[in-house]
């Protein structure tokens, strides 16, 4: 429910029984903290780890739109399988396959040639590189053990080692910033009709089914989910006001990133505002779900007040942004 861009499967997984979530948590810890050590326990255990890691990533791919992260994570897991285990993927004919099999038989029979000068040099380079990486990784490990971890940080000028994490923290509630526009002269007038813009994938319309786009990535949708969680006002994410200005001018570039423009074929809105809502999945089988609602939402307050083009002129100029 709180991942940046949920998919339809996320809806049902989120509403799974409590014991299933406990099983998920336990499995996650085992797969990420225990099974990787199987890599050093021989050929078979290494392949077991590779298969489990790939299966784990497939489950994550199915459970949400996490862009290409999990697809890429499958790639290093393929190194857990040797040529013999992957031989069925290739034809029985071919010179390359024959040469590989010959090398494997020679290695098994202890007939490998004595290391020459080039092979020895390569070993020296490999060992030296390993020592260098180990030395540079000391601050990374210290950061990992720290109670105040730094995410996505490099620890050397060449960025050889670093910490990486897609999510620095996990929230228990989902909030969304919803862009709304109106043609009314007075944004405070009770009769002003505010119409909502819809993004391509992120939650907005409560009746809209979560999308399925992995491994494709809608970056703007992803960023909008982040600002709604980690920032409470637009001052912490000023680029949101830049988007509002573009919407006020019906900018085709920005509108091409959206799913629905309520002012399509009409005059541009006179005012645009950002409303902050708390979202949660509806309960399967409930009256809300029967009405076709995938989401339930409750207004938190204004994320940024109504703005118009003239009022944004000074704001844009102070930041050297081109005025729409």
Model confidence, pTM: 0.78
Digit-coded pLDDT (tens) for 180-233: 999 999 999 989 999 999 999 999 999 999 998 888 889 898 888 888 777 777
Residues 51 and 120 in one domain: no
| Domain end call among 30, 57, 81 | 81
User: 3-class SS at 162?
Assistant: strand
Residues 155 and 252 in one domain: no
**Distance between CA atoms of residues 264 and 105, nearest Å:** 69
Whether residue 103 lies inside any domain: the answer is: no
Residues 124 and 14 in one domain: no
| Residues whose CB falls within 8 Å of the CB of residue 237, separated by 6 or more in sequence, listed in order | 227, 231
Asked if residue 226 lies in contact with residue 219, where contact means CB atoms within 8 angstroms, the answer is: no
| Domain end call among 167, 191, 207 | 167
Residues 182 and 155 in one domain: no
Asked if residue 107 lies in contact with residue 94, where contact means CB atoms within 8 angstroms, the answer is: no
Whether residue 104 lies inside any domain: the answer is: no
Digit-coded pLDDT (tens) for 172-181: 888 999 999 9
Q: What domain range includes position 294?
A: 174-319
Q: Give the DSSP H/E element, type plus range, for residue 298.
A: strand 295-307
Residues 157 and 62 in one domain: no
**Total domains, the chain:** 3
Residues 195 and 310 in one domain: yes
88: pLDDT strictly greater than 80: no
Residues 73 and 128 in one domain: no
What proportions of the chain, in percent to the nearest 5, are helix, strand and coil? 50, 15, 40
Digit-coded pLDDT (tens) for 101-154: 777 777 777 666 677 888 889 889 999 999 988 888 888 888 888 877 777 788
Asked if residue 323 lies in contact with residue 313, where contact means CB atoms within 8 angstroms, the answer is: yes
Residues 149 and 211 in one domain: no
User: Which two tokens mark 109?
Assistant: 């029979």
What's the residue count for the chain?
324
CB count within 10 Å of CB 10 equals: 20
Whether residue 302 lies inside any domain: the answer is: yes
Residues 154 and 206 in one domain: no
Asked if residue 63 lies in contact with residue 70, where contact means CB atoms within 8 angstroms, the answer is: no
Whether residue 306 lies inside any domain: the answer is: yes
Residues 190 and 265 in one domain: yes
Digit-coded pLDDT (tens) for 278-314: 999 999 889 999 999 999 999 998 989 999 988 888 8
Q: Please, where are the H alpha helices in 137-218?
A: 138-145
Whether residue 97 lies inside any domain: the answer is: no
The residue to which tokens 């007040």 are assigned: 305
Residues 182 and 50 in one domain: no
Residues 125 and 257 in one domain: no
């Amino acid at each position: 429910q709180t991942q940046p861009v949920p998919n339809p499967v996320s809806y049902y997984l989120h509403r799974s029984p409590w014991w299933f979530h406990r099983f998920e948590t336990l499995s996650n810890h085992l797969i990420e903290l225990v099974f990787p050590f199987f890599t050093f326990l021989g050929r078979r255990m290494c392949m077991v780890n590779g298969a489990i890691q790939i299966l784990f990533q497939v489950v994550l791919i199915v459970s949400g739109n996490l862009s290409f992260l999990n697809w890429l994570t499958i790639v290093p897991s393929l190194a857990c399988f040797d040529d013999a285990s992957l031989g069925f993927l290739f034809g029985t004919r071919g010179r390359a396959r024959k040469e590989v099999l010959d090398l494997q038989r020679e290695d098994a029979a202890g007939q490998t040639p004595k290391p020459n000068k080039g092979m020895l040099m390569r070993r020296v380079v490999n060992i030296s590189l390993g020592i260098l990486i180990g030395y540079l990784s000391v601050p990374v490990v210290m950061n990992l053990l720290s109670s105040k971890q730094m995410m996505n940080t490099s620890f050397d000028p060449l960025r050889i080692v670093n910490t990486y994490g897609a999510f620095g923290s996990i929230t228990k509630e989902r909030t969304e910033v919803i862009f709304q526009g109106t043609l009314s002269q007075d944004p405070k007038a009770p009769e002003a009709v505010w119409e909502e813009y819809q993004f391509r994938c992120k939650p907005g319309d409560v009746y809209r089914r979560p999308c399925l786009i992995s491994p494709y990535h809608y970056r703007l949708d992803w960023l909008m989910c982040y600002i709604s969680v980690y920032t409470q006002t637009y001052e912490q994410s000023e680029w949101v006001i830049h988007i509002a200005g573009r919407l006020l001018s019906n900018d085709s570039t920005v509108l091409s990133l959206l799913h629905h423009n309520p002012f399509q074929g009409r005059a541009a809105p006179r005012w645009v505002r950002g409303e902050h809502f708390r979202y949660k999945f509806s309960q399967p089988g409930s009256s809300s779900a029967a009405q076709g609602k995938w989401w339930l939402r409750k207004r938190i307050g204004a994320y940024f007040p109504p703005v118009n083009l003239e009022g944004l002129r000074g704001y844009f100029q102070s930041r050297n942004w081109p005025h729409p």
